[in-house]
């Protein structure tokens, strides 16, 4: 609940005015609906009474009938305005929330970010934001405007019909609906959480089944895994059945509440009219108002079904937003060159360190290649050198400062790492490159493309405006690799860290690309992780990590 409150507070701060206006219109809609039925009922009953009494000719028909028309049209207009305003405000707030989520996730430490990659966390984050539109639209605003409409109706019914009927209506509706919603909301929490977990189990087991079905078939496990997938779904359906039953029971309770309130208002009105405390038309107005008040509680039923899901989504989004950013403070060092002293790294909980006591130095203009079998820690050294992983022993100096003391911004201006699986995004070639250098002119872009032996490819595809698909599709593996390298070169770093830079390139292109890198950045200190012969030959020195 408090998670939902936090989310609403965020949305509220962002869109206070629009939400207030929308809520005011929402109250108007409800009031107009109550007024419409109340006045119509009163009008018909009063006309019937006047007709019976033979005073029809002097009965004022124009004011009530004008009021009926005004309320009918007013309600329609107010509803249109209310929906437009609240949806617009909510969408604005959610768009803002997405941006904040991106910013907060970008600030996560590297080992957490890596775990996000390719996992469902991403899809969940987006689905979570989608689920949150219900917080203002289906929960808080209807609840708020419903309560306000109840309060105003109480005042009006008291003034026009009488205190007894007014009290009956407000106590019955607010109390009855309140108890129902609290009960249903509490009942729904556990099954909706369980249904969500079962949904995730279904998804991950099914993906496992599809991805490993050959292995499973050979080891006779297809039936077992299929059963596991279906069992997760069966659990989820059982929880959804429970949820649906809770929601329907809430609906049943609200519906019966409506009937009881309306019959009560009718009976009470009849009793009071028979005692002469009320005219029959006022009794009718009370009854019709009771019918219309149903509209203040009925929409909350949807919220009951959603509240568990929204709560989960809110908790996850809050959790991500609360992530503390990586150190933003630090210094800017001078000088260049990279130096590792007695460097060691051990994964948390692992029995053996990945590496220990590593020493090396790369001066400007030098190239050092780290060699060794896979698993020997080459990539780990690069990640530490890029400041993404903290060494568990020794330290790395960049220029005059320890790496840990550098401010993030100036560190990134001095040093670039091209990881083994660097990512490209949808967009033009120009956008892909200017991501690294927003101020670069087209001539600079063509320069670096030429160095990477990509100019021909890009020209044949239609130039810098050629649009890459999602994840950079539209280029071959080798072309994508060279584009990623070109992007890094545009930063003109003093220290360049390359993880298997020529992977996926044929020997001739690899040689051209490697020579190009050095020619483009003659002064850079270059550290690579390599196992290709060409890269090892290209480096000035090779350090074997085995």
- Nearest to other proteins of 49, 341 (CB atom): 49
- d(CA 305, CA 247) in angstroms, rounded, equals 6
Task: Kindly list the distances between the CA atom of residue 65 and the CA atoms of 33, 42, 51, 68, 486, in Å, as whole numbers in the listed order.
Answer: 15, 11, 16, 5, 76
Taking CB under 8 A as the criterion, which residues in 25-44 touch other proteins? 36, 40-41, 43-44
- d(CA 527, CA 366) in angstroms, rounded, equals 8
- d(CA 538, CA 511) in angstroms, rounded, equals 8
- d(CA 317, CA 134) in angstroms, rounded, equals 14
Helix (H, G, I), strand (E, B) or coil at 351: coil
- Nearest to other proteins of 156, 199 (CB atom): 199
As measured in angstroms, the least distance from the Cβ of 147 to other proteins is: 23
As measured in angstroms, the least distance from the Cβ of 490 to other proteins is: 9
* CB contact burial 229-238 (16+ within 10 A = b; e otherwise): beebbebbee
- Nearest to other proteins of 166, 283 (CB atom): 283
Taking CB under 8 A as the criterion, which residues in 527-546 touch other proteins? 531, 546
Q: Does 122 bind other proteins (CB under 8 A)?
A: yes
As measured in angstroms, the least distance from the Cβ of 521 to other proteins is: 15
Site string for other proteins, 351-390 (x = CB under 8 A): xx--------------------xxx----------x-x--
Which of 28, 280, 38, 18 is CA-nearest to residue 136? 18
Site string for other proteins, 266-305 (x = CB under 8 A): xx-xxx-xx-----x--xx--x------------------
Q: Does 477 bind other proteins (CB under 8 A)?
A: no
Number of CB atoms found within 10 A of residue 105's CB: 17
Out of 20, 63, 190, 219, the residue judged to bind other proteins by CB under 8 A: 219
As measured in angstroms, the least distance from the Cβ of 73 to other proteins is: 7
Which of 429, 404, 389, 383 is CA-nearest to residue 327? 404
> Which segment (139-147, 157-165, 243-251, 390-398) binds other proteins by CB under 8 A?
243-251
Site string for other proteins, 143-182 (x = CB under 8 A): ----------------------------------------
Question: Are the C-beta atoms of 328 and 408 separated by less than 8 Å?
Answer: yes
Out of 6, 12, 59, 158, the residue judged to bind other proteins by CB under 8 A: 59
Q: Does 349 bind other proteins (CB under 8 A)?
A: yes
- Nearest to other proteins of 139, 385 (CB atom): 385
Out of 9, 130, 151, 467, the residue judged to bind other proteins by CB under 8 A: 130
The two tokens of residue 496 are 């360049």
- d(CA 483, CA 309) in angstroms, rounded, equals 42
- d(CA 118, CA 131) in angstroms, rounded, equals 22
Q: To the nearest 10°, the Cα dihedral for 510, 511, 514, 517?
A: -110
Question: Are the C-beta atoms of 320 and 105 separated by less than 8 Å?
Answer: yes
Out of 105, 318, 339, 390, the residue judged to bind other proteins by CB under 8 A: 105
Out of 196, 233, 277, 444, the residue judged to bind other proteins by CB under 8 A: 233
Task: Kindly list the distances between the CA atom of residue 309 and the CA atoms of 129, 228, 457, 468, in Å, as whole numbers in the listed order.
Answer: 11, 24, 49, 36
- Nearest to other proteins of 234, 515 (CB atom): 234
Provide the pairing of β-strand 367-371 with 355-362: unpaired
- Nearest to other proteins of 114, 197 (CB atom): 114
* CB contact burial 134-149 (16+ within 10 A = b; e otherwise): bbbbbbbbbbebbbbb
- d(CA 340, CA 345) in angstroms, rounded, equals 12
Out of 144, 178, 251, 344, the residue judged to bind other proteins by CB under 8 A: 251
The CA-to-CA distance between both ends of the chain, in Å, stands at 54
* Residue 334 DSSP one-character state: -
Site string for other proteins, 410-439 (x = CB under 8 A): --xx--xxxx--xxxxx--------xx-x-
- Nearest to other proteins of 242, 341 (CB atom): 242
Out of 2, 16, 76, 473, the residue judged to bind other proteins by CB under 8 A: 76
- Nearest to other proteins of 348, 460 (CB atom): 348
Among left, alpha and beta (phi > 0; psi -120 to 50; other), residue 294 is: alpha
- Nearest to other proteins of 149, 515 (CB atom): 149
Out of 348, 460, 506, 522, the residue judged to bind other proteins by CB under 8 A: 348
Helix (H, G, I), strand (E, B) or coil at 467: strand
Helix (H, G, I), strand (E, B) or coil at 333: coil
Number of chain residues interacting with other proteins (CB under 8 A): 145
- Nearest to other proteins of 73, 171 (CB atom): 73
| CB neighbour class for 243 (10 Å; exposed up to 12, middle 13-18, buried from 19) | buried
- Nearest to other proteins of 182, 425 (CB atom): 425
- Nearest to other proteins of 26, 41 (CB atom): 41
Q: Does 95 bind other proteins (CB under 8 A)?
A: yes
- d(CA 528, CA 536) in angstroms, rounded, equals 9
Question: Are the C-beta atoms of 38 and 288 separated by less than 8 Å?
Answer: yes
Q: Does 507 bind other proteins (CB under 8 A)?
A: no
- Nearest to other proteins of 2, 544 (CB atom): 544
As measured in angstroms, the least distance from the Cβ of 83 to other proteins is: 5
> Which segment (160-168, 262-270, 452-460, 511-519) binds other proteins by CB under 8 A?
262-270
């Amino acid at each position: 609940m408090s998670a939902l409150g936090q989310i609403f507070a965020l949305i509220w701060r962002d869109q206070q005015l629009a939400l207030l206006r929308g809520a005011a219109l929402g109250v108007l809609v409800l009031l107009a609906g109550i007024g419409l039925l109340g006045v119509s009922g009163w009008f018909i009953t009063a006309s019937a009474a006047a007709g019976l009494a033979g005073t029809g000719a002097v009965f004022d028909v124009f004011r009530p009938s004008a009021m009926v028309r005004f309320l009918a049209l007013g309600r329609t207009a107010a509803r249109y305005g209310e929906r437009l305003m609240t949806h617009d405000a909510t969408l604005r707030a959610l768009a803002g929330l997405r941006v904040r989520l991106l910013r907060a996730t970008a600030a996560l430490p590297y080992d957490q970010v890596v775990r996000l990659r390719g996992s469902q966390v991403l899809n969940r984050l987006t689905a979570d934001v989608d689920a949150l539109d219900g917080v203002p639209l289906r929960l808080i605003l209807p609840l708020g405007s419903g309560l306000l409409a109840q309060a105003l109706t109480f005042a009006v019914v008291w003034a026009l019909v009488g205190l007894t009927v007014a009290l009956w209506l407000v106590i019955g509706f607010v109390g009855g609906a309140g108890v129902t919603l609290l009960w249903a909301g509490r009942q729904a929490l556990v099954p909706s959480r369980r249904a969500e977990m079962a949904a995730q189990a279904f998804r991950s087991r099914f993906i496992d089944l599809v991805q490993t079905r050959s292995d499973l078939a050979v080891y006779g496990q297809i039936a077992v895994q299929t059963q596991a997938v279906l069992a997760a779904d069966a659990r989820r359906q059982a929880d959804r059945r429970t949820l649906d039953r809770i929601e329907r029971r809430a609906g049943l309770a609200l519906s019966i509440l409506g009937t009881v309130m309306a019959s009560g208002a009718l009976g009470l009105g009849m009793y009071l009219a028979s005692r002469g405390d009320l005219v029959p038309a006022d009794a009718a107005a009370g009854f019709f108002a009771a019918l219309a008040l149903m509209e203040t509680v009925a929409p909350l039923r949807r919220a009951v079904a959603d509240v568990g899901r929204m709560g989960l989504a809110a908790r996850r989004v809050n959790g991500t937003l609360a992530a503390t950013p990586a150190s933003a403070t630090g210094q800017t060092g001078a000088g260049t060159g990279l130096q590792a002293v007695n460097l060691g790294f051990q994964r948390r909980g692992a029995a053996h360190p990945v590496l220990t006591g590593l020493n090396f130095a790369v001066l400007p203009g030098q190239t050092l290649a780290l060699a060794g079998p896979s698993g020997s820690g080459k990539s780990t050294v690069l990640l530490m050198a890029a400041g993404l992983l903290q060494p568990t022993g020794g330290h790395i100096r960049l220029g005059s400062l320890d790496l840990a003391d550098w401010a993030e911004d100036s560190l990134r201006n001095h040093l670039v790492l091209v990881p083994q699986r660097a990512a490209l995004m949808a967009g033009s070639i120009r956008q892909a490159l200017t991501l690294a250098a927003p101020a670069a002119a087209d001539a600079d872009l063509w320069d670096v493309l030429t160095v990477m032996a990509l100019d021909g490819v890009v020209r044949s595809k239609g130039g810098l405006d050629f649009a890459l698909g999602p994840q950079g599709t539209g280029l071959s593996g080798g072309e994508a690799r060279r584009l990623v390298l070109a992007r890094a070169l545009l930063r003109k770093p003093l220290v360049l860290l390359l993880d298997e830079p020529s992977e996926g390139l044929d020997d001739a292109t690899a040689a051209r690309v490697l020579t190009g890198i050095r020619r483009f950045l003659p002064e850079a200190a270059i550290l690579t992780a390599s196992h290709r012969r060409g890269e090892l030959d290209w480096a000035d020195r090779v350090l074997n990590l085995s």
